[in-house]
Amino acid sequence: MGKIGDFSFDSEPPLRELLEAYKAAGFQASVLGDGLGLFRKIQEEKASGCRVFLSFTANMVASGLRGIFADMLKRRLVDAVITTGGSLDHDMIRAYDGYELGAFAADDGELHREGINRIGNIFVPTKHYELLEEKMKPVFEALHARGPIVSPSEIADEMGKTLSDEGSFLHWAHKNNIPVFSPGITDSAIGLQTYFFKQKKGCADFGIDVTKDMGRLAQIALDAEKTAGIVLGGGISKHHLIGVNLLRGGLDYALYVSTSEGWEGSLSGAPPSEAVSWGKIRESGRYVNIRGDATVVLPLLHYGAGGEKND
């Protein structure tokens, strides 16, 4: 509690001071201010052994947030990433060639005829997927050479090994030995590539055993004294992050950034409190649910968190 404070800068404030003012402004500004405090707290706790899980959706890797994910892994702010197959697609393609800023209101039929795929206001040329096919071949071959059955985290690691782009989160995940889990990996362009790869001579035995990652992910949660989750968006990645923490009685810290509601009972829209009922977040846990687009919110958190102490 405290008084609502009006914004009252005379000129452009430093980012940190602006965000400090958010805390007292009410509505989502205050929630974002609280979220910043929690984001900092998670970084502090990480330094004393808390294990941090980060989940995000594939569309975010098509956006500028990819650079922040890379930075978080470069700076070892997280211990495990959980995401969808599309994130692997976009990260690899963008290590070689860029996406275009387009418009939400584009004519999709026309785009299709021009060979452009739309993700909101981001345009992805179809030819980029040919590039992905070319770049994935050696990845699959290298994996296959070591044994026919692989796990999603092994695929992600092998991809990262081939990428030298410092803006790539897979590059940093590989370099810093941070596992990237992708329990629904076949639902992606990479998934389609496995289908094509298996049709090649001598590769029909290739497979992705998703149970292989269960133990690895579970162990991170079970070994930790404390855990924290940074959950951007919803879907399978969100659920997998909070779900694995059930094994240890729940997350100690949970920061959600979401545009989705819960009035239709969806997991994507479920607030942190719902996870408390399941034991996926501890009753004693600290959590914040920021409502807004992560492309706007995460940069404020990441660059505003600085590194200073906080509540």
Residues serving a catalytic function are: 280
222 binds its own copies (CB under 8 A): no
Which of 49/121 has CB closer to its own copies? Answer: 121
Site for its own copies in 144-163 (CB under 8 A): 149
Choosing from 51, 73, 78, 99, the residue that interacts with its own copies (CB under 8 A) is 99
> Which of positions 171-210 make contact with its own copies (CB under 8 A)?
183-188, 191-192, 194-195, 198, 206-210
Q: Starting at the earlier edge strand, list the strands of the sheet with 251-258.
A: 180-181, 80-83, 51-56, 227-232, 251-258, 281-291
CA atoms within 13 A on the CB side of 26: 5
Given a contact cutoff of 8 angstroms between Cβ atoms, the answer to whether 220 and 246 are in contact is: no
The pair phi, psi for residue 203, each rounded to 5°, is -115, 5
DSSP letter, residue 166: T
**CA–CA separation, 106 and 102 (whole Å):** 8
Closest CB to its own copies among 135 and 187? 187
One residue of 81, 128, 233, 254 binding its own copies per CB under 8 A: 233
Site for its own copies in 271-300 (CB under 8 A): 273-274, 276-279, 283, 291-297, 299-300
Residue 32 is a binding residue for its own copies (CB under 8 A): yes
Q: How far is the CB of 171 from its own copies (least distance, A)?
A: 12
* Binding of its own copies by 265 (CB under 8 A): yes
* Under rule CB under 8 A, residue 16 binds its own copies: yes
**Least distance between its own copies and beta carbon 29 (Å):** 4
Environment class of 134 (CB within 10 Å of its CB; exposed 0-12, middle 13-18, buried 19+): exposed
Q: Are strands 251-258 and 281-291 parallel, antiparallel or unpaired?
A: parallel
